[in-house]
Amino acid sequence: MQTLLNNISQLLQVRDTHIDKVSGAEMAHLPLLENAWLLIEHGLIKDFGLMEDIPDFGMLKKIDCSGRVVLPTWCDSHTHLVYAGNRVREFVDRINGLTYEEIAKRGGGILNSAKILNETPEDDIYEQSVLRLEEVMRQGTGAIEIKSGYGLTTEGELKMLRVIKRLKDNFPVAIKATFLGAHAFPAEFKSDHTAYIDLIIDEMLPAIVKENLADYIDAFLETGYFSVEEAERIMSAGKKYGLPAKIHVNQFTAISGIAACVKHGALSVDHLEIVTDEDIEVLKGSETMPVALPSCSFFISIPYTPARKMIAAGLPLALATDFNPGTTPSGNMNLVVATACIKMKMTPEEAINAATINGAYAMGLAQTHGSITRGKTASLIITKPISTYYQLPYAFGSNLIEDVLIQGELLS
């Protein structure tokens, strides 16, 4: 029932009180203990301190963390981990010069994944998704949000959300489910957007809520996808059913979508590759978490979220993977943290804050995840022997994780 981690060279993200997020200049501060111990009891963080003051715990299971860094598991607040098949052909098409938008116009992109998903049995989708979830757990993810959005039919969306529910029931990681029926307009609704949004609101949402399958609602608010007004209808409908919004916005264009999300009390606004001064102004003082997805920028060669400008304006920032078959076929949060440091010029402290406590906030899990705090879930990363946590983003292609504990249990 009790496990002691001792001789920890650096214990990161140690917070005495339950803070829910860090913003602006606070993001540069990553509280840590050197030469520390941490006690786990019943899957929770019971206590921690310095080795020089360690109480006599007597006989209990011990893990020697000499030379190792221990930190909370990554909190990946934006993924599309449940999908069927892959889009490797579009990857090669992009290498040969087509853009994401051009591929989508030819019927590829999201509609391509929707076609495959609707043709694939639920059990197959589950098995494919299990492999991805197991992989990201080994890569240190202990809490994750997963979206629907490749069904685009009532049955397809329910199928995806049921798969997410099965993952929740069968795995110890914390999972939040987001309904993303408003991901793209199916071909048959291309010239009748209102009819598709009516279908989402009048048929999909009630069915999803009846089975209690979603925690949040999402829409792809973007030129050529869902307009500000259309996304506002979705957010309002979600609110009626008690589903706060987490919105894809400002990936390619800035069309005042962020202001609409803040007005609707969105929990997060995600992507933000294109950010205007007006967008930054509306986020100031709001409770909405901006979420950057740098491995998406990397994979499809679009701009990176202007982290320095946003942090200088006092905003918080979270980092997530966007794991999906089209724009980011990777759920590796270590790579996200490294890319944020290398390409967005976030410091390691800022990037780790963004990938832990702020990520937890962006999926409503800040009370239980994202920091080393007494009473929080003992989901922890133990690194291989390293000299400092700076090595995590520095050695961007190496796997520096030795062990992962989820709710106090070592992954096998």
Ligand X SMILES: N=CN[C@@H](CCC(=O)O)C(=O)O
**In sequence order, what are the beta bridge partners of 302?**
none
Which positions make up the binding site for Zn(2+)?
A: 78, 80, 248, 322
315 binds, among ligand X, Zn ion, none (CB under 5 to 8 A by kind): none
How far apart are CB 87 and ligand X at their closest, in Å? 7
User: By C-alpha distance, which of 279, 365, 354 is closest to 320?
Assistant: 354
What's the CA gap between 164 and 175, in Å, rounded?
Answer: 8
Which positions make up the binding site for 4-imidazolone-5-propanoate?
A: 87, 150, 183, 251, 327
Which positions make up the binding site for Fe(3+)?
A: 78, 80, 248, 322
Residues that bind Zn ion (rule: CB under 5 A) add up to a total of 1
Q: Which stretch binds Zn ion (CB under 5 A): 119-127, 275-283, 315-323, 379-387?
A: 315-323
Residue nearest to ligand X (CB): 326
Contact 237, 179 (CB under 8 A): no
Closer to ligand X at the Cβ: 110 or 354? 110
| SS percent in the chain: helix, strand, coil, step 5 | 40, 25, 40
Q: How many Cβ atoms from other residues are within 10 Å of residue 206's Cβ?
A: 12
Asked if 322 touches Zn ion (CB under 5 A), the answer is yes
359 binds, among Zn ion, ligand X, none (CB under 5 to 8 A by kind): none
* List of residues contacting ligand X (CB under 6 A): 109-110, 113, 220, 248, 251, 296, 322, 324-327
Closer to ligand X at the Cβ: 156 or 348? 156
- Phi/psi for 13 (5° steps) reads 65, 45
358 binds, among Zn ion, ligand X, none (CB under 5 to 8 A by kind): none
Contact partners, residue 291, CB within 8 Å, separation at least 6: 77, 78, 268, 269, 270, 271, 272, 317, 318, 319, 320, 359, 362
Burial of residue 214 (number of CB atoms within 10 Å: 0-12, 13-18, 19+):
buried
Site string for Zn ion, 272-311 (x = CB under 5 A): ----------------------------------------
C-alpha distances in Å from residue 60, one per residue of 7, 40, 43: 15, 11, 15
Closer to Zn ion at the Cβ: 79 or 377? 79
What's the CA gap between 139 and 36, in Å, rounded?
Answer: 23
Asked if 222 touches Zn ion (CB under 5 A), the answer is no
Dmax over Cα atoms in the chain, in whole Å? 71
Closer to Zn ion at the Cβ: 32 or 300? 300
How far apart are CB 331 and ligand X at their closest, in Å? 13
Residue nearest to Zn ion (CB): 322
Residues that bind Zn ion in the complex, under the rule CB under 5 A: 322
